[in-house]
Amino acid sequence: MTRKMWGLIPVLDCSQLLRLCPSQCKPYVCPITTPDPRVDSSQRTMSDQAFVTLATNDSYAKGAMVLGQSLRNHNTTRKLVVLIGPHVAEPCRDALRSVFDEVRVVDVMDSGDTAHLALMKRPDLGVTFTKLHCWTLTHYSKCVFMDADTLVLSNIDELFEREELSAAPDPGWPDCFNSGVFVFRPSNETHEKLLTFCGEHGSFDGGDQGVLNSFFNTWATADISKHLPFVYNLSSIAIYSYLPAFKQYGHDAKVVHFLGKVKPWNYSYDAQQGEVRGHSQSPDQSQLHPDYLLMWWQLYAKSVLPLLQKSYGEAPFSSGFVEASGDGKLHEDVSEHPAPSHPPPQKVSSEERKQRWEAGQIDYLGDDSFANIERKLDSFLK
In the complex, which residues of this chain contact Mn ion (CB under 5 A)?
147, 149, 180
Nearest-approach distance from CB 148 to Mn ion, in angstroms: 7
DSSP string, 3-33: HHHHHHGGG--HHHHHHHS-GGGSTTTS-TT
Nearest-approach distance from CB 179 to Mn ion, in angstroms: 8
8 A C-beta contact, residue 160 and residue 42? no
> Residues 136, 86, 106, CA angle at the centre, nearest 5°?
0
Nearest-approach distance from CB 178 to Mn ion, in angstroms: 8
Count how many residues are written for the chain: 382
339-348 CB burial, b ≥16 within 10 A, e <16:
eeebeebeee
Return the number of the residue (150 or 319) whose C-beta is nearest Mn ion: 150
Return the number of the residue (142 or 263) whose C-beta is nearest Mn ion: 263
Nearest-approach distance from CB 59 to Mn ion, in angstroms: 13
8 A C-beta contact, residue 146 and residue 67? yes
Nearest-approach distance from CB 310 to Mn ion, in angstroms: 28
Strands 150-152 and 321-324: unpaired
209-248 CB burial, b ≥16 within 10 A, e <16:
bbbbbbbbeebeeeeeebbbebbbbbbbbbbbeeeeebee
Q: What is the distance between the terminal CA atoms of the chain, rounded to a whole angstrom?
A: 75
Return the number of the residue (64 or 92) whose C-beta is nearest Mn ion: 64
Nearest-approach distance from CB 258 to Mn ion, in angstroms: 7
In 3D space, the residue among 82, 71, 79, 83 whose CA is nearest the CA of residue 49 turns out to be 79
Cβ neighbours for 124, distance < 8 A, ≥ 6 positions apart = 206
Return the number of the residue (149 or 170) whose C-beta is nearest Mn ion: 149
Chain centroid to CA 355: how far?
A: 28
Return the number of the residue (240 or 317) whose C-beta is nearest Mn ion: 240
Q: Which helix (H) or strand (E) holds 88?
A: none
Nearest-approach distance from CB 64 to Mn ion, in angstroms: 12
Half-sphere exposure of 317 (CA within 13 A, CB side): 22
CA–CA separation, 136 and 100 (whole Å): 18
Return the number of the residue (168 or 322) whose C-beta is nearest Mn ion: 168
Cis amide bond preceding 137, omega within 30: no
Return the number of the residue (147 or 363) whose C-beta is nearest Mn ion: 147
Nearest-approach distance from CB 150 to Mn ion, in angstroms: 7
Return the number of the residue (111 or 150) whose C-beta is nearest Mn ion: 150
Task: Name the residue with the smallest CB distance to Mn ion.
Answer: 147
Strands 321-324 and 268-270: parallel
Nearest-approach distance from CB 21 to Mn ion, in angstroms: 54
Return the number of the residue (166 or 311) whose C-beta is nearest Mn ion: 166
Helical ranges in the chain per DSSP H: 2-8, 14-20, 37-47, 58-73, 90-99, 113-121, 126-132, 188-201, 208-215, 236-241, 243-249, 283-288, 292-299, 305-312, 350-358, 370-381
Nearest-approach distance from CB 12 to Mn ion, in angstroms: 54
Return the number of the residue (79 or 257) whose C-beta is nearest Mn ion: 257
